[in-house]
Amino acid sequence: MKDISTPQTDRDKTYSITQLCREFDVTPRTLRFYEQKGLLAPARRGWTRIFNYRDRARLQLILRGKRVGFSLEEIKEMLDLYKLRDGQMTQLTVASTKLRERLVALRQQRVEIDEAIADLERTCDIVDGMLKEKGADLAASA
């Protein structure tokens, strides 16, 4: 006799909006917004959204893309390439190009941030020096 208590595979598993919100530390409003923008497409049971393995994976990619600075439009463009069914070659090629472009941009931002930090440190030193002089002037005149 076949055992009917076989565990569910990850691909068969479904998730509620609450489960995904907890797992990824996002709000229900965020998930509904991503759905409205066409980034997620959960099934519905009445008013309840039922997210599947694909939705969970897409959410993970959306959040990763946002973290590195991609717009939702850029993320959707990359996710939608999966539908081409060319063995994901187009999706992977476009993703690789966009990721490398973003890496270059982030490295440039890091250089600019380092320069801004150095400028602020120099300005702090100048202001601190002026404060010391004023303190010495005030002490001498008192």
CA distance 23 to 33: 17
Average pLDDT over the chain, rounded to an integer: 88
Does any domain span residue 6? Answer: no
Q: What percent of the chain has pLDDT over 90?
A: 65
Confidence of residue 94 (pLDDT cuts 50, 70, 90): confident
Does any domain span residue 73? Answer: no
49-77: per-residue pLDDT in tens? 999 999 999 999 999 999 999 999 999 99
CA distance 68 to 62: 10
Domain that holds residue 63: 11-68
Does any domain span residue 3? Answer: no
Question: What is the total count of domains within the chain?
Answer: 2
Q: Which one-letter DSSP state was computed for residue 11?
A: T
CA distance 86 to 43: 26
The more confident residue out of 90 and 121 is 121
Does any domain span residue 4? Answer: no
Does any domain span residue 78? Answer: no
Residue 62's CATH number: 1.10.1660.10
On the 0-12 / 13-18 / 19+ scale of CB atoms within 10 A, 20 is buried
Output Rg (C-alpha) for the chain, integer angstroms: 26
Does any domain span residue 122? Answer: yes
- State the average pLDDT over residues 96-119: 95
Does any domain span residue 104? Answer: yes
